[in-house]
Structure 1
Amino acid sequence: MNGLEMRFLGHSTVRLELAGRVVLTDPVLTARVGPLRRTGPSPAPSAWADADVVLLSHLHGDHLHLPSLRLLRGRPRVVVPRGAGAWLRSRGIERVEELAPGEEFVDGDLRVVGLPATHSGHRWGPRSTRGPQARAMGHLIESPQARVYSAGDTDLFDGMRELPPLDVALLPVWGWGPTLGPGHLDPARAAAAVGLLAPRMAVPVHWGTLALAGLTGVPGGPGARMRSLLVEPPRTFAAAVNAAGRPVRVLVTEPGERVALPASLGEARP
């Protein structure tokens, strides 16, 4: 696509090249995240070493992953939900900038707008009152040629229908376990989000990457279900979008692979 390149690095981590910048969303780059294990190879350093901007949607450990942030070289600008900057700096992360829904971050021709999300913003999840907390959010990522919505973690919210025309929507379709807690999209609800957003293309993310250690090897029902959930959600999502008759291309992309965007966007966005 003219002016936009994308690679799905796994979970919610996407590498975007636009406006002369390399942007990473919610980088998880290691073989493990706490009790979770990566089910395939970790991204090669060449996929993330040249990052200019890092966008963090919320504070959960599978999105704001400190060991992965510490791998980044070149001092990228790290954009964190407003209120979490001091906590992140105290963990040794440099060049931290804060953003809230409705605020803008600009770097040359790159423009990022903070968007709402319906999801817990607490570091340790919705049932904890200890530790840092900042409002969970999504991002509208723009260049003169392309407009991308990165949802982070969210459930449906009415503001989705109010976003400007989108070229690509990065939509979560599952998670890392056999069930989903509140504030997430499953394949059916992600397909409903497509109906609200009306993007030209949708890329399912937040699937096929992480699982509780040992769970995929458990015989019988629990293991079989987890193995299925590492494969089926994006395909179920694509089928639901097609069944609804949406004029949207769903680009199912395996973790680690380049997103097969079309050759050109055509006219630049206003």
Structure 2
Amino acid sequence: MAAPMELSCWGGDWGLPSLHPESLTVMAYAKFSGAPLTVNTINNSWRVPKGDVPVLISEDIVISQPAKILNFLRKQKYNADYELSAKQGADTLAYIALLEEKLLPALLHTFWVEAENYSSVTKPWFASRIAFPLSLYLPGKMSREALNRILLTRGGPPLYSLAEVEAQIYRDAKECLNLLSKRLGTSQFFFGDMPTTLDAFVFGFLAPIYKVCFPRVQLQEHLKQLPNLCRFCDDILTFYFRLTVSDGRQPS
């Protein structure tokens, strides 16, 4: 009998099972591969785990980071990629690298750096799910880490000011969304009729942009001009998470 597997992750709102891209990626892959995960969402009565969220625990094994968690699931015979060719496997790695280089900085900025979004949505949402007194400290720490990550990858010459960095990361993100839309085309998933690792990563990155109700929404506005990517997110929410795509409620 397989050892039980528990995933600790940030919870959801706005019709999403999680607001956290990395958590969403792992949750989606588990659905695609049939991995029987028990999901424990972080709330204000539950101690935030050490290390990066999401965290997978199976007996005495503790794994964080989506790529490592997915590799572990594959070793347990939960493989969403078994029908992919070698070229498709290489394409998967290339597109994941593209997401992390071109889309992730703007996603982090939208959630954690853009002042109005952070103060009115991100900070209160996460603080409400973290036990006091960590709730006073951890959202700010996450915001600083997001900014540092953006500047680490985008803050060098010729982009010297934060305004220049912001303009560039949003240009890159919109270009990335356009490329993803072109690659998906009219297909249900990126490699045909069955979702794979790439679909899990794309969903994890796109769904929070698509669904969370922020006051500043330039990336969301661009995404909504690409109906095949919106349909892609809606289909996964409907068919794999059994969530209604019209759920646009405000955070609790």
Q: Same fold (TM over 0.5)?
A: no
Which protein has greater RCO, CA pairs closer than 8 Å, 6+ apart? 2
Greater helix share, structure number: 2
